[in-house]
Structure formats: structure tokens, C-alpha cells
Amino acid sequence: MEKLVYKNIQEAEKIKEINRDDLTITHYISTSTPDRFCEIMKPEGCDYSGYRKNPVVFFGHRSRELPVAKNEKIIIDETGVLAVTKFDTSDFAKEIFRLNAEGFLNSWSIGFVPKKIKNQKLKINDKEQDYRCIEEWELLEYSSVPIPANPDAVNLMLKEVKSDKIKEIIEQENLNSIINALNTKIDKLKEGYTEKHREDTESSEEIIKRELKIFEDRLVRTLIRLKFRP
């Protein structure tokens, strides 16, 4: 089964047009700029034919809730994938539109399935590095998302939000971003540990499981001694 992948883009400076009368925003949902994970999305490789059959737009990828907008057009250019997003007239959707239009929300995230991936070395900004180029991919959906850069940005955003529901989602997304950042650091530590001990016959996961089992056994024996101590 092909895996659904999410990728965020913080592109406030690349917003092309905001129409407050029609509640529409023209903006990029993906660009060819390498991200911090050394991945490059090829705009020309985007297949959005399936998505256009049901072009809904959510807030925070909450697909079990009603969409806040719909996509009216997808345009592929040399910069990336440009979208024209028209927001609904519900109070919730209009609040999401306002926060985007005024710059308190400036991030978008795509849900997609990679179809063709190529690893290659590229020289960008006079620095050669290994990149993962996603040459072909299927767009499944995109969402407006709160990706706060720091705690001050979170507090500023929350002061401007009128909806309790949106405040709850922003706080949850902020917590998720912290957890994801920690998981990324853990993965990098595991990769470094595996590389350092690559000649070992056991994988890093097996070593961690063994150490955890030893710790659990010691903890159980200690608790038993404490319980039956005269």
C-alpha cells in the first residue's frame, strides 16, 4: 500500500493575491525549493487529476470535519504548485481566511503519495549535498496549517484568534510540532548510533530493547524487595 506523506510549506512571501470580497487566496502549496529535510518536490511531477474530482481544503488536515474551503484552480509553474483557494462562508472558515489574509497563519501543507523518487547530489548555494528528489507525486489534499516558529509567535496568534475551537487546534498543532521535532532528533541520534556501531551484528533497536528489558527487570526486583522488606 502506498504511503500518504505530509509536507509543510511556509510561504507567506509567495502569496500572489488575496480577494476579501470573494474570500479567495492565490498561493503556493508546494515549491521546488529544497526543504530542511533535503527533499525537493518537482512541480512538473504533480498529478492532481484525482484531487480535482473532490477539491476540498481542510484546516490542519482534519478530514473528518467539514472543509473550510475548496480549490478552484491548480497551476504548475517553474516556482511550484500554485492554488486558488476559495473559503466557505461559515464563521469558522471566515476566521481561517482572516488569519491567513492578515498573516497570522502563513503555512500550507499537502497530503501526497510519492510515485517516483531519485536520490542525487546537487550543488546549491555553493554547497554540494545529497538530496531526495520527489520527481512524480499524486496530490490527495492540502490544508491551511498553524506552524508556529516559536512560543512568542504562538501567543501572538492566540491573541488574534476569536474562535475557541481554532485556539484548541493551534495549541494541539504546536504540541505536535514539538513532539515531531523531538522524534526527528531521536531518529538522527539512532542513525548516528547505528553508523557508529555498524559492524555490530545487532541493530540499534535490538540493543535498545535489550537495555530496556534489563532496566525493567532491575526495576521489578527493586520493587519486590521494597514491598517485602522487613
Q: Is 149 a residue whose pLDDT tops 70?
A: no
Confidence at 230, pLDDT banded by 50, 70, 90: very low
Confidence at 60, pLDDT banded by 50, 70, 90: confident
> Are 102 and 207 members of one domain?
no
Whether 168 is in a domain gets the answer no
> Are 131 and 227 members of one domain?
no
Highest mean pLDDT among 74-83, 123-132, 202-211: 74-83
> Are 14 and 81 members of one domain?
yes
Of the candidates 171, 166, 122, the one whose C-alpha atom is nearest the C-alpha of residue 144 is 166
The range of the structural domain enclosing residue 225 comes to 202-230
Q: What number of residues does the chain have?
A: 230
Backbone angles phi, psi at 16, to 5 degrees: -85, -40
Whether 219 is in a domain gets the answer yes
Per-residue cell: 58: 481542510
Whether 56 is in a domain gets the answer yes
Whether 164 is in a domain gets the answer no
Whether 34 is in a domain gets the answer yes
Which one is predicted more confidently, 109 or 230?
A: 109
pTM value surpassing 0.95: no
Whether 209 is in a domain gets the answer yes
pLDDT digits (tens, 9 = 90+) for 7-47: 777 654 566 789 999 999 999 999 888 877 788 889 999 99
Q: Is 174 a residue whose pLDDT tops 70?
A: no
Last residue of a domain, one of 102, 127, 145: 145
> Are 129 and 219 members of one domain?
no
Q: How far is CA 46 from CA 34, 138, 174, in A?
A: 16, 6, 29
- Distance between alpha carbon 48 and the CA centroid of its chain, in Å? 19
Last residue of a domain, one of 122, 145, 168: 145
Mean pLDDT for all residues in the chain: 78
Whether 179 is in a domain gets the answer no
> Are 105 and 214 members of one domain?
no
